[in-house]
Structure 1
Amino acid sequence: MSEQTSPERRRRVRAEARRSVSAILDAAIRVLGERPQASMEEIAAAAGLSRQTVYAHFPSRDALVAAVFQRMTDDAIAAMDAADLDEGPAPAALLRLLDAGWRTIQRFPMLQVDTGSADPDLHGPVVDRLLRLIERGQRSGEFDAQASPGWLIAATIALGHAAGAEAAAGRMSADDAAAALRASILRVYGARPPTR
C-alpha cells in the first residue's frame, strides 16, 4: 500500500477537510451576520482559506448559506433538548425553551439579519418541540386550552423575532428584550409566571 492511499493519510485528509468546513462555517456565520450580502471571497478570507477551498466544500453561495442555517438549527435543537422540555411545569419549560432560543439568537445574529434565506423545513424540529410543549401545557390546564397550537407557535416565532430585532436595533437592551419576550409569551399562552 502506497503512502498516498494509506489509511492514515486518508484519516488526515478527512480531519483537515472537517477543520476547513468548520472554519468556513464559523467565518460565514460571523461575516454574514455582519454583512448579509458578503461574497464567498470575503468568507474565505475571514476563514483564512482560499476561495477554491471554500468552493471545494460548498459549490455555491446558496449551498454555504444552507449549511450555515443547518448548523444554527442543529445548535438551537441541542439547546432546546438540553432544556428538558418534558420536565416540570409547562410554563417553566416554556421559559427554558425561550431562554435557549434567545441564547441561540444572541450567538447567531444572522438569524435576525437574514431569516429569509433559511429553508422553511429547518423550522420543523423546533416547531415539533414547541408543539409538544404546548399540547402538554394545554392538557394540564397550564396553558389556554382554547388557543390554537398553530397560533401559539406563530405568535412565539413572531414575538421572538420582534424581540431580537428590537435588541439588534438598539431600541432595547438584550436583557430587556428577553424579559419582554418572556412576559409577552406567558400572556399569549394564558400562563401564570412560574414561582421560583
Structure 2
Amino acid sequence: MTPSPVRPQARNRRADARRSRASILDAAIRLLNERPEASVEAVASAAGVTRQTVYAHFPSREQLLTAVLDRLTERAVAAMAAADPDSGPAAEALLRLLDASAQVAGEYPALVRRLGALPASVREDAERHVPVAELLERVIQRGQADGEFDDRLPTEWLVTATIALAHAATTETEAGHLTDQQARELLHTSLRRLLRAD
C-alpha cells in the first residue's frame, strides 16, 4: 500500500513548530545565561511566543532546561567537529577539540552552572555525551594506531577519563579554585601524561 502524501498544510505546521521550538531554545539560552532563574513567561516573551506555546513544546521548566542543555551540547559537538579532528598529531587534535567545547561553554557560564545542577541519571548523561565521546574516540584511536598514545589501555577507558578530566577542570574553575587558563593548562598537561606512549 502506498503511503499517503504529506499535505502541504501539515508540512508547514511541522516547519512552524520546528522554528518555534528553535526560537524558544535560542531565547532561553540568551536569557537564562543572564538571569538563570528567569521565568517561563520571560522566556516566552524573549522568544516572541506565548507562554502556552512554550508549554506546548516543553511541559515543565525542567524539560525546557534539559532541552537547553541538549542544544548547548549540539553546539559544542559542532564546534568540536569544526576543529579538524583528523589533521595533525592526535594530541594536538584532541586538545583542539576540548578547547572548542570549552569555548562554547565559556560563552554561557551562568547557564552552564545552572544546567550542571539538573538531575540526570548516569544513562541520560552517557547518552548526551555519545557524540562527544565518538569524536574523542576517533582521535584517540588514531593516536593509538600511530603509536602516539598508549595502546595498552582500552580506548573507551581513555575517552571516559578524558571527559572526566574535562569536567574536573570545569568544576574547579566554577568553584574559583582555578582560573580558566590554569584549568586549561592543567587539563592539557594531565591528558598528555595520561595518553602518551612510553
> TM-score, length-normalised on structure 2?
0.75
Q: What displacement does 1:105 show?
A: 2.0
2:195 to 154, 173, 189: 189
Q: What displacement does 1:97 show?
A: 1.0
The alpha-carbon distance between structure 1 residues 54 and 75, as it changes in their structure 2 partners (threshold 3 A), is same
Range 61-70 or range 43-52, more displaced: 43-52
Task: String of CA shifts for 1:120-154, please: whole Å, max 9, x gaps.
Answer: 31211111111111111011010111122222112
Task: String of CA shifts for 1:18-55, please: whole Å, max 9, x gaps.
Answer: 66434421343355557767653454355465422311
Q: What displacement does 1:102 show?
A: 1.1
- Give distance in 1, aligned partners of 2:134 and 2:197: 20
Tell me if structure 1 keeps the 8 A contact 2:140–2:149: yes
Aligned to 1:150: 156
Share of identical aligned residues, percent? 51
Task: String of CA shifts for 1:143-186, please: whole Å, max 9, x gaps.
Answer: 11112222211211111111111222222111221121111111
- Give distance in 1, aligned partners of 2:36 and 2:168: 19
Which letter maps to 2:63? A
The alpha-carbon distance between structure 1 residues 155 and 34, as it changes in their structure 2 partners (threshold 3 A), is farther
- Give distance in 1, aligned partners of 2:172 and 2:34: 16
Tell me if structure 2 keeps the 8 A contact 1:27–1:47: yes
Unaligned runs of 5+ in 1: 1-6
How many residues of Structure 1 are paired with residues of Structure 2 in the alignment? 184
Which letter maps to 1:150? E
Aligned to 1:114: 115
- Give distance in 2, aligned partners of 1:138 and 1:99: 21
Q: What displacement does 1:90 show?
A: 0.6
Tell me if structure 2 keeps the 8 A contact 1:105–1:164: no
Unaligned runs of 5+ in 2: 1-7
Task: String of CA shifts for 1:44-78, please: whole Å, max 9, x gaps.
Answer: 35546542231133233343233212211211111
- Aligned pairs for 1:123-134 (under 5 A) are 123-134=129-140
Tell me if structure 2 keeps the 8 A contact 1:90–1:142: yes
Aligned to 1:178: 184
- Aligned pairs for 1:9-20 (under 5 A) are 20=20
Tell me if structure 2 keeps the 8 A contact 1:65–1:117: no
The alpha-carbon distance between structure 1 residues 42 and 162, as it changes in their structure 2 partners (threshold 3 A), is farther
Range 183-192 or range 67-76, more displaced: 183-192
- Give distance in 1, aligned partners of 2:30 and 2:177: 22
- Give distance in 2, aligned partners of 1:47 and 1:178: 35
Which letter maps to 2:137? L
Aligned to 2:142: 136
Aligned to 1:4: none
